[in-house]
Chain A
Amino acid sequence: EPEVTQTPSHQVTQMGQEVILRCVPISNHLYFYWYRQILGQKVEFLVSFYNNEISEKSEIFDDQFSVERPDGSNFTLKIRSTKLEDSAMYFCASSGRQGALSEKLFFGSGTQLSVL
């Protein structure tokens, strides 16, 4: 089965530093997503991205967050100035078409971000 690949698997950073989390979605997919999961809590939607634009974003996705598809294969999430509460597992996902609830989403294995 095709896979979504995320790097790094673990990232440790100091509060206030910028981090970039990287994802390689499935090659023929067109819709890309970031989710996060704080330890012991629910999986939370952050943002969806299509045609080089943000389609939807949640309240969590404030001005400190940005996403980019810098080339034909990578999809990145940047946190400009990390806070302690940004510590979480961040999941990238992709799908072949729109309509997340009628379409199968493929999730990566996640990047565990620890902000100290």
Chain B
Amino acid sequence: LAKTTQPISMDSYEGQEVNITCSHNNIATNDYITWYQQFPSQGPRFIIQGYKTKVTNEVASLFIPADRKSSTLSLPRVSLSDTAVYYCLVGGDNAGNMLTFGGGTRLMVKP
């Protein structure tokens, strides 16, 4: 599994766009980039997944540069309810079924 590095914490204010960048320098050709969100005392929740370029869904956008050595999760116009821990995971089917969570980025959205 590719090692990932992301900021330990970030602060933002309601209505702002938040960008969380994850570094994964040793990403393999078959690896996907997946982001999960976790609220206190709840299980992680899938947000978005991508392989290259840009992916957008109703919750977030994921930007992946051509070299795929990093990725940026973009949350548009955050609200207080977006306060959570965000995890970047990198790996492919050859990693089996074992998701490995790092420490994540603790996002605090302030009023």
Q: Which residues of A contact B (CB under 8 A)?
A: 4, 31, 33, 35, 42-45, 48, 50, 55-56, 58, 89, 91, 93, 98-102, 104-110, 112
A-B contact pairs, 23 of them (CB 8 A): A31-B97, A33-B97, A33-B99, A42-B102, A42-B104, A45-B100, A55-B97, A58-B98, A91-B44, A98-B93, A100-B98, A101-B89, A101-B92, A101-B95, A101-B99, A102-B49, A102-B93, A105-B44, A106-B46, A107-B42, A107-B44, A108-B43, A109-B41
For the complex, what is the distance from the CA of A104 to the CA of B1, rounded to whole Å? 17
For the complex, what is the distance from the CA of A113 to the CA of B89, rounded to whole Å? 26
Partner of A99, one of B89, B92, B100: B92
B46: min CB distance to chain A, Å: 4
Q: Point out the residues of chain B lying under 8 angstroms from A100, CB to CB.
A: 91, 95-99
B interface size (C-beta, 8 A): 28
Partner of B96, one of A43, A44, A56, A112: A56
| With contact pairs A93-B43, A109-B42 given, residues A101 and B91 touching in the complex (Cβ less than 8 Å) | yes
Q: Point out the residues of chain B lying under 8 angstroms from A102, CB to CB.
A: 32, 49, 92-93
Find the B residue at minimum CB distance from A108: B43
Q: Point out the residues of chain A lying under 8 angstroms from B101, CB to CB.
A: 42-44
Q: Main SS of chain A's interface residues?
A: strand
A91: min CB distance to chain B, Å: 4
For the complex, what is the distance from the CA of A66 to the CA of B17, rounded to whole Å? 44
Partner of B42, one of A58, A99, A105, A110: A110
B45 contacts the other chain (CB 8 A): yes
B31 touching A101, Cβ below 8 Å: yes
B79 contacts the other chain (CB 8 A): no
| With contact pairs A101-B31, A109-B42 given, residues A42 and B103 touching in the complex (Cβ less than 8 Å) | yes
